[in-house]
Structure 1
Amino acid sequence: MLKPANPHFSSGPCAKRPGFSLAALEGALLGRSHRAPAPKAKLAEVISRSAALLGLPPDYRLGIVPASDTGAVEMALWGLLGPRGVDVLAWESFSAEWAQDIEKELKLPDLRLLRAPYGRLPDLSAVDPKRDCVFVWNGTTSGVRLPDAGWIAEDREGLTICDATSAAFAMDLPWHKLDVVTWSWQKVLGGEAAHGMMALSPRAVARLEAHRPAWPMPKIFRLTKGGKLIEGIFKGDTINTPSMLCVEDALDGLRWAEGIGGLKALVARAEGNLAAVAAWEAKSDWARFLAEDPATRSCTSVCLRIVAPWFTAMEPAKQEAVAKRLSAILENEGVALDAGSYRDAPPGLRIWCGATVERSDVEALLPWLDVAFERVTREFAA
């Protein structure tokens, strides 16, 4: 039976772009100071190419920040929250992490947690436009994404802080409704780890310059100095030392994306991969999307739950053992690496279908899911 040419279906770090080889990184300015003119120009190029590819509004700032998407989100939370009450939407692992940090670390007194279980979204109509709002656009660990931005008021008074790490470059983002947007290099374009991106609207910049947090701010989180935005961050002067090898890799991914047709082509590739899984899922007698509403199904982190009666009748610990065995079979066969569900999510599979993944590889994988499940059925259902 045909196997995927590329079995890399991890949800982060994600598959490299088609045709990638280390030869693409030969232009990396290794052994150079990142503050020297040529390396700094490379960093600025990542910013400018990213902004152009995503269609970022011209009055938004975009910068490279440390510690991947996690660092970018934490910088936004620590630097911006406090002046208003905040609504936090939590429906999967990472959104729950941001809620916990705001509640337990920042200890904001006026906090509302709008929660939903895996597979669903919170009540978006409950969001108050007078308050700040923190949310993910796409739940990487649940496979549930926001279907649109209709719930975000045009005349909102609060800021919208959006973790879009598994959505940027694969989904159309409504920039005019998003005041802070974060992502990382190692998701949709398959870049290497440790670097994050942060986009700020003029409203977010105004908040940063007017607001002084009540808590101590570590240097690595500071986006202002003397009450003014540190503009250099958004021109290639990074806060900490970046890997110029990773920078070269990021540029390679951006150039590839431009070459295949830009954002429209990237979105189409991811949506095509989702469509392939959906066609298989509709005929499956054992697997269903974790996302209950088809309109909220992610086209990047596609999460599947197991619905076979013998499985659902098991205790949770045994269900986890079955799911781990299922992903192990796929890995041992060399058809899907790192395709197990996230540790906090319901037991099942998580298949990355972002833009660097070829549809032919997704289609080749799907019959193997049935083969692997037949094996675990024989092993566990007897």
Structure 2
Amino acid sequence: MHPVPKPLLRPVNPRFGSGPCAKRPGWSLDALQDAFLGRSHRSPDGRARLDAVITRSRALLGMPQDWRLGIVPGSDTGAVEMVLWSLLGPRPVDVLAFESFSATWANDIVAQLALPDARVLEAEYGALPPLDAIDWSRDVVFAWNGTTSGVCFPEAGAIPAVHEGLAICDATSAAFAMRLPWDRLDVVTWSWQKVLGGEAAHGMLALSPRAVARLEGAPPPRPLPKLFRLTAKGRLIEGIFAGDTINTPSMLCTEDALDGLRWAERIGGLDALVARSGANLAAIAAWVDRSGWAAFLASKPETRSSTSICLRIVAPWFVALPETTQAKAARHLTGLVEAERAGFDIASYRDAPPGLRLWGGATVETADIEALLPWLDWAEAETRMAFAGETHGSPAAKSASA
């Protein structure tokens, strides 16, 4: 007899991956039937569709009117790289590295750009670097939310209202689910495929007046490929921020992005999006409290992400396994859930500690989260039995028995 019976109810939408993320509730291909296909994106109508993504995004996020917002190639990665290569150099820089993608930005700054005065402030998965160690007289590069660690900035007050350097924020898994302090930021990037469930390969780049002044007043001391160029003859290329994209965008993806924005407007805007994501985190937090075997990877409650919700396995049987076997057991657990079509893409990121990563963004229904959780309990019990004989002789097992 199994210690935990197999659940009967499955999530209506079992897609909990962290990118591309779940489509909005009720989405179907019919939402794309009016896509502007087979026509030039540079025609007046094509440009208007792209500008609508910009205009609706600005309004939904409450972005200040004097900021520029543009669509750029390469998803959030492309947007961040454009910023690093175009803006960094005039000042020393601090970069926060506390999960996979922020560590990539740190590597690019140190190893690729080879900036002479760059400090990397590091933290292990589950924590933020000490925020009081940041020197805001320098440029500061950071992720608002660590997509692979489930750790986010605790509050706007972590950034001083007045700072000499530029605050450069990768917000790809935070935008539309968390409130961004526009008055304390200078550059913000994100992608379509996260909180609103759009399709991949398109990024968004938002620039404050201070960032624009840097671009126009301090040209980058390095050659830039066309895809990274935001200025021409010392002036900002304003068309990028009005629907004239640097390269050819997908108008099918554009229609999908507009569909997500319209849905967000219909349900109540940013307040509703933040509330939906918060409800998903609350449902998982209540389950963690009673599970006995799962815990948040983020050690401090105030830094727990409501979108990329990362969990570690703390059950004694799991802790007693050798590290290599822990990874195997975690994959076995998530594989069982996927095989039952109860939850797709819920394994932790490949560089993160073995465990679970559940997307809790606004397009995910809390009812689906609640339907998933009994499957996790069932899979944990099945995995415990499957690995019951593999703790013998491990150092952790010997320590536990002693």
Shorter-chain TM-score tier? over 0.9
Stretches of structure 2 that go unaligned for 5 or more consecutive residues are 1-7, 390-402
Based on CA coordinates, which of the two structures has the bigger radius of gyration? 2
Residue in structure 2 matching 1:343, options 346, 350, 361: 350
User: How far apart in 2 are the matches of 1:381 and 1:93?
Assistant: 32
8 Å CA contact 2:162, 2:184 repeated in 1: no
Counterpart for residue 315 of structure 1: 322
1:291 maps to a residue whose letter is A
AA aligned to 1:122 is P
**What is the CA-CA distance between 1:216 and the residue it aligns to?**
1.4
Tell me, what secondary structure is at the counterpart of 2:310?
strand
Aligned counterpart in structure 2 of residue 244 of structure 1, from 251, 254, 262: 251
Structure-2 residue corresponding to 1:88: 95
Instruction: Give 1:146's match in structure 2, choosing from 133, 153, 158.
Output: 153
- Matched to 1:108, the amino acid is L
Per the alignment, residue 197 of structure 1 pairs with 204
**Aligned-partner residue type, residue 69 of structure 1:** D
- The match for 1:26 is 33
Alignment match of 2:60 (pick from 53, 57, 69):
53
Paired AA for residue 144 in structure 1: V
Distance 2:300 2:314 in 1: 16
What residue number does 1:98 align with?
105
The secondary structure found in structure 2 opposite 1:64 is strand
Q: Which residue of 1 aligns with 2:233?
A: 226
Correspondence for 1:121 = 128
Instruction: After the TM superposition, list the runs of 4 or more consecutive aligned residues in structure 1 that deviate by more than 3 angstroms.
Output: none
8 Å contact from structure 2 (residues 277, 362) kept in 1? yes
2:42 aligned partner:
35
- What is the CA–CA distance in structure 1 between the aligned matches of 2:131 and 2:367, rounded to whole Å? 36
Tell me the amino acid that sits aligned with residue 126 of structure 1: A
SS for the counterpart of 1:150 is: helix
Deviation at 1:310, TM superposition (A): 2.0
Which one-letter code corresponds to 1:107 in the other structure?
A: A
- Cα displacement string for residues 306-354 of structure 1 (whole angstroms, at most 9, x for unaligned residues): 1112211222211111111111111001110011000000000000010
Contact 2:198 2:256 in 1 (8 A): yes
Percent identity (aligned): 68
Say if 2:14 is the partner of 1:7.
Answer: yes
Match of 1:133 among 137, 140, 152: 140
Q: 1:381 deviation in Å?
A: 1.9
Counterparts of 2:281 and 2:162 in 1: how far apart (Å)? 34
1: CA distance, partners of 2:134 / 2:92: 11
Counterpart residue number, 2:69: 62
SS at match of 2:190: strand
Question: Which residue of 176, 187, 193 corresponds with 2:183?
Answer: 176
Matched, 1:304 2:294: no
Q: For residues 388 and 87 of structure 2, what CA distance do their matches in structure 1 show?
A: 52
Cα distance, 1:155 vs structure 2: 1.7
Alignment length (residue pairs): 382
Deviations 1:293-316 (A, max 9, x none): 011110000001011122112222
Which TM-score applies when normalising by structure 2? 0.94
CA distance in 1: counterparts of 2:322 and 2:119, whole angstroms: 33
Q: Find the residue that maps to 1:112 and give its secondary structure.
A: strand
Q: Distance in 2 between matches of 1:68 and 1:167?
A: 15
Unmatched segments (≥5 aa) in structure 1: none
Q: Is residue 160 of structure 1 aligned with residue 171 of structure 2?
A: no
